[in-house]
Each structure stands twice: as structure tokens, then as C-alpha cells.
């Protein structure tokens, strides 16, 4: 079993590994082998049963933090029905985070023109907050802005910030997630957002992985200031797994394979172990789409990386511009 630890300076206690539902709640996603994971069965009943089986597996493995979003298709609904079907001990409740800010527009279609549309305005916050509450009820502990950016204007939109502060005052933690080459700049601005003298954000969810570790120092400073830190995309959406057979990535894959071999581990476990080793990270999400993948990921808990490993692992980092340009080319499947 994984030991819980505090999520920043909040009253919630999370496990080092959490589970994200981006690949589970909808037929289409950008991870490399998503279509194969779902074996072509996109019926709502099959996808709900698959998600419930994943949640059971994760719970039995000791995972206690679960991450969803309004735009992950029916992820909140599937999570909500799973939560409602379980009885939890009062001293061992799951910690649930979700997000608002993108409308799901794929219509359950893998080939949709547009899978999600960003909208960081008050009407969408108000609508999605109602929808998230309907699906997750009192289980919902943390509500995050989905991919806050400077361009979306969300961090200077007074009416949105006031509404988030009101939600917080009624007992739900408030966070933001980040995406793109300027995660550091956005986090710096977010750290200064205050309402009536109090900092608004309790948590930050950001991309940190062996290919894109550039926001590590900023996340460390956010953690020192009391924010809970959640790492996402630790497998670079599948690029840090054996599924990545891109010819241009072959040298990096060979290096990862050699290091993993020294630990009798898989490269996905190695990638997760690297994130777990960051002292400022409270919870690291696995976006595994099958129990077999999650099982493989969990071996990370047994890996202790050495200085020699780190020397090699640090050389894998790409420039943020290169990393995010590659990510933006990943195909929905
Ligand atoms: N802006 C945001 O707020 C934001 C953005 C992205 C993600 N998130 C959150 O972070 C979570 C994780 O992100 P993510 O799923 O995009 O990325 P990820 O965790 O880096 O990648 C997950 C994918 O890696 C592959 N994988 C994992 N273990 C594997 C194994 N043992 N063998 C082969 N492949 C394996 C699978 O993809 P395939 O099988 O499809 O190849 C899996 O779906 C999401 O669920 C979501 O909760 C938030």
C-alpha cells in the first residue's frame, strides 16, 4: 500500500501515484495506441465497464487520487457511478480532482473535427461547475482551471476569479493545470493571484517528464509556497513507453531501455520513478489505459535511481519548444 502524504498545505492527503482519466472517458485521445487499448469497442456501456475495472484495479493497488475533467467525455460520469457504487471507510476516502474550461465537442466520435473547445469565461465555469457537482457530488475535492494560459486571459478575468474564490469558500480546493512551452510564466502569474489578500490557488497540475523537465524549479518554488503539486503526462503521452517506435526516437529509447534493464524494469516504470523522485511532487498521475499498463507503471515504486542513472536521464531533455511542437502533432485516435 502507498502511504498518503499532504497535498501541499491543504487538508487533503494523497498517494504518490494518482490516476488520470483522460484516456478512459472518451473514444478519442492523443496517446499513441489509444485505439488499440480500447479494442475498438466504443459503446458507452463497454467504456464505462472498462473505466470501472481500471478504477477497481487502481484502488486495490492503493491509489487514492483520481483526476478528471469536463472535457474528458464521460470521465466524470464514469467516476461518479464508480464512487456511488462503493462504500469507503471514513478514514480512507478517495481524493477527487476535476477541471473546467474546455467543452467536450467530439460527440463520441474519434474522427471529430474538434475534440474540445477552450472557453475560460464565467458562463462556462458556472455551467461546468453545476455539471461536475451533479456527476461527482460531495466527492469532488479539487476544481482546477483546465490548461490556464496567459492568452486565455483567465488569470486576469476578475469575475471568474471571484467565482472560483466563492467555490473555495464553500469548501472545494481551487487549482489550475498548465500546458505548453510557457508553463513557468503562467505559474509565476498564478502564484500572485489573490482575492481579499488570500492566495487563490491551492494546487498546480503541470507537465514534468524526462523529455520536458523545464518547470521543475518553478514547481519546487510553488511547493515551498504551499501549493499542492500534481505531475501529469509523465510518460509524455506514451512517447516514454515501448509503444514509441518513432525512428527519430530510437537512440533515446535504446538509452532508456539500457537504464531500465539495470533495474530489471520497464521504461514506463523508469519514467514514473524519475517523477516520484522529485521531492516537490505530491502526486504523479498515471494515464494508463489498461490494468496491464498500470501494473507495469506501479513497478516504479521499487526503483531507486542512482546518480549515474540521473546523469544519463538528464541528457534526454528536449527544449520545451521541441517537446510541445511534437506533442501538438500527436494524432487523436
Ligand atoms: N492540461 C491538463 O490538465 C492535462 C493534460 C493532459 C493530461 N492531464 C491529466 O494527466 C493524466 C495523464 O496524462 P496522459 O494520459 O495524457 O499522459 P501519460 O500519463 O504521459 O500517458 C499515458 C499513456 O501512456 C501509455 N502507457 C502507459 N503505460 C504504458 C505501458 N506500460 N506500456 C505501453 N504504453 C503505456 C498509454 O498510451 P497508449 O496505450 O495509448 O499508447 C497511456 O494511455 C490524464 O489522464 C489527465 O488526468 C491533464
Is 271 among the domain residues? Answer: yes
Mean per-residue pLDDT, 118-147: 98
Q: Can you give the pLDDT at residue 190? A: 98
Is 6 among the domain residues? Answer: no
Q: Can you give the pLDDT at residue 38? A: 85
Q: Looking at the CA of residue 68, tell me the nearest atom of ligand 1.
A: 47
Reported as a pLDDT band with limits 50, 70 and 90, residue 39 is confident
**Residue 235 Cα to ligand 1 middle (Å):** 6
Q: What is the pLDDT of residues 66-105, one digit of tens each?
A: 999 999 999 999 999 999 999 999 999 999 999 999 999 9
Nearest to 79 by CA among 40, 27, 39, 22: 22
Is 130 among the domain residues? Answer: yes
Is the C-beta atom of 98 inside 6 A of ligand 1? no
Q: Looking at the CA of residue 21, tell me the nearest atom of ligand 1.
A: 45
Is the C-beta atom of 231 inside 6 A of ligand 1? no
Query: Do the Cβ atoms of 168 and 199 come closer than 8 Å?
Result: no
Is 333 among the domain residues? Answer: no
Reported as a pLDDT band with limits 50, 70 and 90, residue 40 is confident
Best probe residue, ligand 1, of 110, 288, 297 (max atoms within 8 Å of C-beta): 288
Distance CA 237, CA 287 (A): 8
CATH number of the domain that residue 201 is part of: 3.20.20.100
Is 116 among the domain residues? Answer: yes
**Residue 87 Cα to ligand 1 middle (Å):** 28
Is 34 among the domain residues? Answer: yes
Is 3 among the domain residues? Answer: no
Mean per-residue pLDDT, 297-305: 98
Query: Do the Cβ atoms of 24 and 291 come closer than 8 Å?
Result: no
Query: Do the Cβ atoms of 272 and 244 come closer than 8 Å?
Result: no
Look at the chain and report how many structural domains it folds into. Answer: 1
Neighbouring residues of 245: CB distance < 8 A, sequence distance ≥ 6:
none
Reported as a pLDDT band with limits 50, 70 and 90, residue 302 is very high
Mean per-residue pLDDT, 305-328: 98
Q: What is the mean pLDDT of the chain?
A: 97
**Residue 20 Cα to ligand 1 middle (Å):** 7
Q: Can you give the pLDDT at residue 85? A: 97
**Residue 288 Cα to ligand 1 middle (Å):** 6
Is the C-beta atom of 54 inside 6 A of ligand 1? no
Reported as a pLDDT band with limits 50, 70 and 90, residue 197 is very high
Q: What is the DSSP letter of 25?
A: S
Is the C-beta atom of 243 inside 6 A of ligand 1? yes
Q: What is the pLDDT of residues 246-285, one digit of tens each?
A: 999 999 999 999 999 999 999 999 999 999 999 999 999 9
Distance CA 323, CA 315 (A): 14
Query: Do the Cβ atoms of 299 and 270 come closer than 8 Å?
Result: no
Structural domain harbouring 144: 12-328
pLDDT at 1 over 80: no
**Residues belonging to the chain:** 333
Q: Atom 46 in ligand 1: which residue has the minimum CA distance? A: 20
The SS3 assignment for 177 reads strand
Q: Looking at the CA of residue 32, tell me the nearest atom of ligand 1.
A: 41
**Residue 217 Cα to ligand 1 middle (Å):** 23
Is the C-beta atom of 238 inside 6 A of ligand 1? yes
Is the C-beta atom of 120 inside 6 A of ligand 1? no
Is 4 among the domain residues? Answer: no
Burial of 328 (0-12, 13-18, 19+ CB in 10 A): exposed
Helices (H), 121-195: 122-136, 158-169, 183-191
Reported as a pLDDT band with limits 50, 70 and 90, residue 148 is very high
Beta bridge partners of 194: 199
- Grid coordinates in use for 243? 509503444
1 vs 4 pLDDT, higher one: 4
Amino acid at each position: 500500500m502507498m502511504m498518503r502524504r499532504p497535498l501541499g498545505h491543504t487538508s487533503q492527503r494523497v498517494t504518490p501515484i494518482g490516476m488520470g482519466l483522460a484516456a478512459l472517458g472518451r473514444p478519442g485521445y492523443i496517446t499513441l495506441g489509444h485505439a488499440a487499448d480500447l479494442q475498438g469497442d466504443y459503446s458507452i456501456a463497454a467504456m464505462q465497464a472498462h473505466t470501472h475495472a481500471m478504477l477497481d484495479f487502481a484502488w486495490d493497488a492503493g491509489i487514492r487520487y483520481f483526476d478528471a475533467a469536463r472535457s474528458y467525455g464521460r470521465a466524470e460520469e464514469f467516476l461518479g457511478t464508480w464512487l456511488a457504487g462503493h462504500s469507503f471507510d471514513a478514514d480512507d476516502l478517495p481524493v477527487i480532482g476535476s477541471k473546467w474550461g474546455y467543452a467536450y465537442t467530439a460527440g463520441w466520435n474519434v474522427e471529430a473535427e474538434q475534440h474540445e473547445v477552450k472557453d475560460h469565461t464565467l458562463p462556462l465555469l458556472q455551467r461546468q461547475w453545476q455539471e461536475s457537482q451533479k456527476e461527482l457530488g460531495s466527492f469532488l475535492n479539487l476544481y482546477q482551471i483546465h490548461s490556464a494560459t496567459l492568452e486565455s486571459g483567465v488569470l486576469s478575468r476578475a469575475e471568474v476569479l471571484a467565482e472560483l474564490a466563492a467555490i473555495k469558500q464553500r469548501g472545494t480546493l481551487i487549482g489550475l493545470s498548465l500546458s505548453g512551452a510557457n508553463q513557468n510564466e503562467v505559474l509565476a502569474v498564478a502564484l500572485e493571484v489573490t482575492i481579499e489578500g488570500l492566495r487563490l490557488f491551492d494546487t498546480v497540475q503541470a507537465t514534468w517528464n524526462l523529455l520536458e523537465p523545464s518547470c521543475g524549479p518553478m514547481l519546487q518554488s510553488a511547493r515551498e509556497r504551499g501549493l499542492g503539486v500534481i505531475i501529469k503526462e509523465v510518460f509524455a503521452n506514451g512517447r516514454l513507453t515501448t509503444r514509441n517506435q518513432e525512428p527519430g526516437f530510437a537512440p533515446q529509447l535504446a538509452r532508456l531501455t539500457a537504464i531500465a534493464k539495470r533495474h530489471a524494469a520497464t521504461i514506463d516504470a523508469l519514467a514514473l520513478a524519475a517523477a516520484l523522485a522529485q521531492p516537490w511532487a505530491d502526486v504523479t498521475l498515471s494515464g494508463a489505459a489498461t490494468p496491464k499498463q498500470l501494473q507495469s507503471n506501479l513497478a516504479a515504486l521499487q526503483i531507486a535511481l542512482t546518480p549515474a542513472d540521473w546523469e544519463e536521464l538528464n541528457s534526454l531533455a528536449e527544449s520545451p519548444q521541441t517537446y510541445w511542437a511534437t506533442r501538438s502533432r500527436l494524432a487523436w485516435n
